[in-house]
Structures are given as C-alpha cells and as structure tokens.
Amino acid sequence: MDGQAAVIELRQVRKVYQTGAIEVEALRGVSFAIFPAEMVAVMGPSGSGKSTLMNLMGCLDRPTSGSYRLAGEETGQMNDDRLAEIRNRRIGFVFQSYNLLARMTAVENVELPLVYAGAPRRRERALTSLERVGLGPRARHRPFELSGGEQQRVAIARALVMEPSLILADEPTGNLDTRSSEEIMALLQELNEREGMTVVLVTHEADIAAHMGRILRIRDGLLERDEVVSNPRHAALRPEGKL
C-alpha cells in the first residue's frame, strides 16, 4: 500500500483544549495513514481522544500542531470556509443519530450537500444516491416516516452523494437494533468492495469493529495499537437495494 497516495495522513497531530486555566491535551502526537479502499475502525474508551480524532479527520476542527493531509491536501492552515468546502466535497458523514433534517423529505436531505456545493442536476443525483442504498421508493418520505435503519441509509446516501474521498461514520449502528446494524454494516462493506470507498468508523463495539479490515486503538491521546484484522466478519444481511 505504500506506493499509493494516502486518503488520510496524520503526522504528530496534537490537540490541546483550553478549559479556563487548565489545558487538556486530547491528542498527544498521533501519526497514521489510511489508504484508499481501506475499512478502518477507530476504537477507544471514552476520554481516549477518539472523538477529537474524529472531529479532526472530519475537518470540523484543526489540530493544535502537527500535520493532517486529506487526499493530499494539508488542512491544518485552512480557514473555516475552506474547511466547509473540504467537508462538502471530500467527506461523507454518518452519525449515530442519523442527523437528518426532520422538515425535509429523504431526497431533500440527500440533496443538502449538493445545494451547498451549488451542483447542477441535484434532484437526479440525490435520487441516484438513494437508489444506491436501496431507498429509491422512499424518496418522498420524511425521516419520522422511516425506520431507524432506513434513516441511517438516507444518511449514507447523503454521505455518498458528493462522491467523497472517505466516509466518516461515528457509531453508525449505535442507535440501531442488531438486524438494522447488520444491514448498515453490509451496506458499508458493499460500498467498499464494489466501489472502493474508504470507510473510517468510530465505534466502541468490538462486534462492529470486527467488520473492518483494520483497527486503530486510541488510549490517552495516543495511538495505542494499529492492528490488521486478518479475517473481517462479513455482514450477512444485504439490504434489498441494489448497488
């Protein structure tokens, strides 16, 4: 993999929070690289710094020091508008609580990144993306009319719609029952296998992490272990949608 350009490359990334007079060092020099088509789980107990790492990788925040390159671009010095652009074009977020806008239909939610990108043929592209996650027929439904698993699939469709460099999933199955969790993991694996999508997933469930090809364990602001999963679990339940 060394010959390939990394999707994500962190070098000695530190993040210090100033809480009043107290400085909290959430990340104390983390370095790793993630390459295209990898499936990586980030694990760690609460307070380990994994949320901070997630925010940094998602360009929602900047490192205090060190370097973070996303798809070859150094993001450390970018201003807020530029970071917003990077999030828009390079990163597809999937959150634990789906984070769909309740007022909007599924397809309108999926369109949202296209709106901010000023992209043409928005409705068409959003519908295509919904079909990729098997929710074409549900396009006009609002979030409250969908099951948790369906809502998360809408969120994945939204994450995919800009053709990002990576999908960043934060506990994507945290609110789902086992069956829906399996579906979501199956969907992510399928996206990875068929389309070579890079997936980075934060979880504390070993069960979920076992679906990934690699696990980064964070503890006390440091990368504790970087392990390869020799035989990742294959999610059995495929959603009815066709990729």
Partner 1 sequence: MTLLESLRSALSAILSRKLRSFLTVLGIVIGVAAVIALMSIGEGAQARVTSSLESIGTNLLFVRPGAPPQAGAQSFQPTAGRLTLADAAALTDPALTPAVVMAAPEVSTAVQAAVSGSTVATRAMGVTPEYETVRNFTVAEGRFISEADVEAGSLVTVVGSNVAEALFGELSPVGESIRLSQRRFRVVGVLESKGGTAFGSQDNLVVVPITTAQRRLTRTLTARGADQVQVIYVQARNASLVDAAKEQVTALLRELHDSPTVDDFTITTQQETLATLTQALGAFTIFLGAVAGISLVVGGIGIMNIMLVSVTERTREIGIRKAVGAKSRDILLQFLVESALLSLAGGLLGVALGAGASQLVSNINIGGTQVPAAVTPDIVLLAVGVATAIGLFFGFYPASRAARLDPIQALRSE
Q: Which residues form the interface with partner 1 (CB under 8 A)?
A: 55, 58, 60-61, 80-81, 84-85, 87-89, 93, 95, 99-101, 103-104, 112-113, 115-118, 158, 162
Minimum distance from CB of 105 to partner 1 (Å)?
11
Beta bridge partners of 32: 10
Which residue number, 105 or 180, has a Cβ lying nearer to partner 1? 105
Minimum distance from CB of 92 to partner 1 (Å)?
9
Minimum distance from CB of 206 to partner 1 (Å)?
25
Which residue number, 103 or 231, has a Cβ lying nearer to partner 1? 103
Which residue number, 55 or 128, has a Cβ lying nearer to partner 1? 55
Which residue number, 37 or 104, has a Cβ lying nearer to partner 1? 104
Q: How far is residue 168's CA from residue 123's CA, in Å, rounded to a whole number?
A: 24
Minimum distance from CB of 187 to partner 1 (Å)?
19
8 A C-beta contact, residue 122 and residue 111? yes
Minimum distance from CB of 198 to partner 1 (Å)?
18
Minimum distance from CB of 49 to partner 1 (Å)?
14
Which residue number, 85 or 220, has a Cβ lying nearer to partner 1? 85
Work out the number of other CB atoms within 10 angstroms of the CB of residue 77: 8
Which residue number, 158 or 211, has a Cβ lying nearer to partner 1? 158
